[in-house]
Amino acid sequence: MTEYSSHAPREFEIAGRAVIVAGAGRGIGKGIARVLAESGVQVLATAMTETYLSQVAGELAAAGHPIEFMAADATSGDDMAGVVERALSRFGRLDGLVNCVGDAISKPIVPLPDSAAETTPLTDEEWRFILDVNLTEAFVGCRAVGAHFLSQRSGRVVNIAGYAAARGGANSVAYAAAKAGLTRMTQALALEWAPYGINVNAIAPGVFPDPVTSQEAVERAAARAASGQIPLRRPGNLREVGLLTHFLLSDAADYMTGETVFIDGGAVFG
């Protein structure tokens, strides 16, 4: 009878590595930070404010998986340079960056004549905000870690895009453009940094409600919608994106770069 080890192959081991997770206060970023911390990664989690970050850090510390955290604007070059400096100071190394900042505004670009309700169209300021928070933030983060990764000739970047990168929807022009732009940026940067041993990939999640920040009614509505619209008949669990991120940060993904991996229950094909 063959005996099997309960230990994962060494290529999946990432304990001891140091990773910045930008946008880790809630939602998908929180799920990523949690999985990485549980895997023994030294995590520096950031968000615009410490409101949710401190809660996440407290929960993980109580479970025996402490993380570092700090407030930072992911679209600010100065802030992200400070984040990199903090990571190197606290950990003495930096191996990965996860860009998981994002937001959406659902509006048409001009008023629709057959709309049942009066809807204010997307403003110039809102367009720029959505592009900044979904696309510029990744550019700024990558630029902040770039010199260090290039000097050590290693590093992993994981950009969190979205389902909209492949299938835009009505009233989401800015969001779809930003997420699609993020996947092309991922591809271009992967080619730029490939000769230096740096892998750059993206994850495109579908529906992943946060049970902590979503109202119960919103959770139930998401589940009902998923049962009819998503082939796997359920919304995603935040932990699932964390597990995929773990893989992309590990040696098991050494031969992957420039890719966008969709994790949406099959919705992109539906």
pLDDT in tens, 78-132: 999 999 999 999 999 999 999 999 999 999 999 888 766 667 899 999 999 999 9
6, part of any domain: no
**pLDDT given at position 114:** 77
**pLDDT given at position 221:** 73
State residue 99 phi and psi, 5-degree precision.
Answer: -95, 105
Average the pLDDT over 244-250 and give the result: 98
Residue range of the domain that includes 145 = 14-263
4, part of any domain: no
194, part of any domain: yes
268, part of any domain: no
* Contact between 66 and 73 (Cβ < 8 Å): no
Q: Which residue in 4, 52, 163, 175 is the catalytic one? A: 175
- The CATH number covering residue 186 comes to 3.40.50.720
**pLDDT given at position 239:** 96
Residue 196 among the catalytic residues: no
Q: Report the chain's mean pLDDT, rounded to a whole number.
A: 93
Of the candidates 48, 50, 256, the residue with the CA atom closest to the CA atom of residue 137: 48
Pairing outcome for strands 260-263 and 198-205: parallel
- Chain length of the chain: 270
Q: Is the dihedral of CA 234, 243, 142, 154 positive or negative?
A: negative
- Does residue 213 surpass a pLDDT of 90? no
Confidence of residue 148 (pLDDT cuts 50, 70, 90): very high
91, part of any domain: yes
23, part of any domain: yes
Number of domains in the chain: 1
- Does residue 43 surpass a pLDDT of 60? yes
167, part of any domain: yes
155, part of any domain: yes
User: Distance between CA atoms of 153 and 147, rounded to whole angstroms?
Assistant: 10
